[in-house]
A and B are shown apart, each in its own frame.
Chain A
């Protein structure tokens, strides 16, 4: 099973700052990479599913890139808002299962 590393573990930014965090993996032997957003007291919500042909994905102020050669994916948030505060999870899909990283906790201060 692939080891999914996410960094940093947590991040505190000011409202309006842009930020990014990393999901890294040792090999590209998976079907797709998923990003989820998990707000406190809610359930994880799918943001992006990225297949190995690696197009950038974008949803509003959030975008993600995948570099299978170097073994990482970046999630970018432009102009962070307090409502972006959540844990961002990366998961690799292989077989019929998702293998999750530990997540990056983002706190945006107004």
Chain B
């Protein structure tokens, strides 16, 4: 158990819908990262937040957005969902100045 929690574990929804994935980092970690793991691709970095501010952006679609709240939990919002958005979404967190990232258990999103 890495100490990073993600909810929900599974999510099934329909095309066109909007969902919110939630992540709580390990106690003391200020950075939160979101990754997407699709069937035919490796782990793809989406976005990073540090202490409430966006720090880095990867291959995140405009239909996706994220935020980090004052209590440091983060939410990833996915809207106008398409079949291709079906994937495993991981959140990771890290301590300032220490590069290793600790991954949560993931949320499996299925878009029907």
Tell me the total A-B contact number using a CB cutoff of 8 A: 50
Within 8 Å of chain B (Cβ to Cβ): is A23? no
Closest to B50 in A: A96
Task: Supply 13 A–B pairs (Cβ within 8 Å), ascending by A.
Answer: A32-B99, A43-B90, A43-B104, A43-B105, A89-B42, A89-B43, A91-B43, A96-B48, A97-B33, A98-B101, A100-B42, A101-B42, A103-B42
- The distance from the CB of B106 to the nearest CB of chain A, in whole angstroms, is 6
B-contact bits for A2-44, CB 8 A (1 contact / 0 none): 0000000000000000000000000000011010000000111
Enumerate chain B residues within 8 angstroms of A49, measured Cβ to Cβ: 99-100
Most chain B CB atoms below 10 A, which of A46, A89, A99:
A46
Interface bin, chain B = 20 to 34
Are A43 and B103 interface neighbours, CB within 8 A? yes
Are A44 and B45 interface neighbours, CB within 8 A? no
- The distance from the CB of B102 to the nearest CB of chain A, in whole angstroms, is 7
Within 8 Å of chain B (Cβ to Cβ): is A83? no
Chain A interface residues toward B at CB < 8 A = 31-32, 34, 42-46, 49, 89, 91, 93, 95-103
Chain B interface residues toward A at CB < 8 A = 2, 4, 31, 33, 42-45, 48, 50, 55-56, 58, 90, 99-106
Enumerate chain B residues within 8 angstroms of A46, measured Cβ to Cβ: 100-102
Q: Main SS of chain A's interface residues?
A: strand
Enumerate chain A residues within 8 angstroms of B44, measured Cβ to Cβ: 100
Query: How far does the alpha carbon of A103 sit from the alpha carbon of B43 in the complex, in Å?
Result: 10
- The distance from the CB of A24 to the nearest CB of chain B, in whole angstroms, is 15
Enumerate chain A residues within 8 angstroms of B90, measured Cβ to Cβ: 43-44
Closest to B6 in A: A43
Are B42 and A44 interface neighbours, CB within 8 A? no
Are B105 and A97 interface neighbours, CB within 8 A? no
Query: How far does the alpha carbon of A101 sit from the alpha carbon of B33 in the complex, in Å?
Result: 17
- The distance from the CB of A97 to the nearest CB of chain B, in whole angstroms, is 5
Are A102 and B100 interface neighbours, CB within 8 A? no
With A96-B48, A100-B42 known as contacts, the answer to whether A43 contacts B2 (CB < 8 A) is: yes
Q: Which of A45, A89, A99 contacts B2 (CB 8 A)?
A: A45
